[in-house]
Amino acid sequence: MSERTADAASQDQSDLFTGDGAAGARSKATVKGTPARQMPAFVLGEELGDLAERDERIVVLTADLASANRTVEFKARHPERFFDFGIAEKNMVTAAAGMAACGHVPFAATFASFLGILCAEQIRTDCAYPNLPVRLVAHHSGISMGFYGTSHHAVEDLAMMRTIAGLTVVCATDASMLRAILRASLDRPGAMYIRLGRGRDPEVYKAPPADFAFGRAIRLREGKDLTIIATGAEVYPALGAAEKLAGQGISARVVDMHTISPLDREEIRAAAAETGAILTVEEHNVTGGLGSAVAEVLVECERVPFRRHGIPDEFALIGPPAALYAHYRLDSDGIAGEALALLGRG
């Protein structure tokens, strides 16, 4: 083995992501107690690899992050349909648009901070404006990059992306939801921004929702006192918060608003008409994201007490992700506390 080959082998961290498949350990592999197969960032390459077996249009692009987003698994199975652009994200997005114009369905994946923010112009002009089927996979969104700092936080991307005409903006709740999104994306016209969490998102759905549809929210729990509308990685703690509230005699509906654009306006109107208050929860700046989108609907329909919960309109602090989630009250305890405050019981 050459020195270069040995060095490459020493950097292969696949077992940290998937376990030793040959030894049958994959199903047992965990990160902080969460099975590896239940983590969105860990099934991306696998699911795209499976889909590519049946759809020759699929190609995958990344920007020097094949290991981080697990598209390396796609590369192993379909090397001729995999393209690594190095640290050149804008070039990657424009190239993806070119591939889409030639009949391919490209999935271009990199950190959300680089994709949704750095490449906003390319997404708007090269992908959305010509209505090309480019799938932009933005992983490690929100504050999940933690101590990497402000340059790697993505708490403005939903606000930016949902203002682009014709761009579908969708957030994966967990691994099963990601699979559903990828499968449903293949024949949807136009460009799409697929937002993933930190790859350690606990299971909400035991299997890909069979009735998944873009623009149609999923009601996960019924309630009459308030509705918690959450998206992406915040759906799981929102369900936990609802359990805590139930212990205090408060009935909380929980809605997974996975699609930010087009928004399920009817589900929001139903929450306003049928429950006493609405709390939105997102791993994103409270300005311009899910909360703002819901507020735009509420101002035109029945008025109810309403609160946006997320990152304050500031640059997020730098630190370990778990500490940041607790600090910004984006865990189940924090969400429950926000709900109580909204109901005047905090």
User: Tell me, what's the pLDDT at 199?
Assistant: 72
* 278 SS3 class: strand
Residues 127-146, mean pLDDT to the nearest whole number:
96
DSSP for 32-101, written as a single string: TTEEGGG-HHHHHHHHHHHHHHH-TTEEEEESS-TTTTTTHHHHHH-GGGEEE--S-HHHHHHHHHHHHH
Q: Is the dihedral of CA 288, 106, 138, 151 positive or negative?
A: negative
pLDDT, one tens digit per residue, over 268-305 is 999 999 998 999 999 999 999 999 999 999 998 878 99
pTM of the model: 0.89
- pLDDT grade, residue 120 (50/70/90)? very high
Higher pLDDT, 284 or 5: 284
pLDDT, one tens digit per residue, over 192-250 is 999 998 777 889 999 999 999 999 999 999 999 999 999 999 999 999 999 999 999 99
Residue in 228, 230, 69 with CA at minimum distance from that of residue 140: 69
Higher pLDDT, 146 or 279: 279
- pLDDT of 145 over the 50 cut: yes
Rounded distance between C-alpha atoms, residue 51 and residue 180, angstroms: 11
User: Tell me, what's the pLDDT at 41?
Assistant: 52
Rounded distance between C-alpha atoms, residue 209 and residue 51, angstroms: 17
- pLDDT grade, residue 35 (50/70/90)? low
User: Tell me, what's the pLDDT at 36?
Assistant: 53
pLDDT, one tens digit per residue, over 75-100 is 999 999 999 999 999 999 999 999 99
Domains 30-195 and 218-342 share a fold: yes
Residue 310 CB: number of other CB atoms within 10 A? Answer: 25
Domain ranges of the chain: 30-195, 218-342
| Residue 255 host element (H or E) | strand 252-256
Per the prediction, the chain carries an average pLDDT of 89
Residues 135-156, mean pLDDT to the nearest whole number:
94
Rounded distance between C-alpha atoms, residue 331 and residue 258, angstroms: 18
User: Tell me, what's the pLDDT at 158?
Assistant: 98
CATH superfamily, domain at 30-195: Thiamin diphosphate (ThDP)-binding fold, Pyr/PP domains (3.40.50.970)
Residue 111 CB: number of other CB atoms within 10 A? Answer: 26
Rounded distance between C-alpha atoms, residue 325 and residue 115, angstroms: 23
- pLDDT grade, residue 18 (50/70/90)? very low
* 148 SS3 class: helix
Identify any residues that bridge with 252 across adjacent strands, giving them in sequence order.
226
CATH number of 218-342: 3.40.50.920
In terms of DSSP bridges, do strands 34-35 and 278-285 run parallel, antiparallel, or are they unpaired? Answer: unpaired
H-only helix segments in the chain:
3-10, 14-18, 40-54, 72-77, 89-101, 112, 120-122, 157-161, 175-185, 235-246, 265-274, 290-298, 321-327, 332-342
Residue in 63, 69, 29, 64 with CA at minimum distance from that of residue 49: 69
- pLDDT of 17 over the 50 cut: no
Identify any residues that bridge with 270 across adjacent strands, giving them in sequence order.
none
- pLDDT of 324 over the 70 cut: yes
User: Tell me, what's the pLDDT at 10?
Assistant: 37
Residues 183-187, mean pLDDT to the nearest whole number:
97
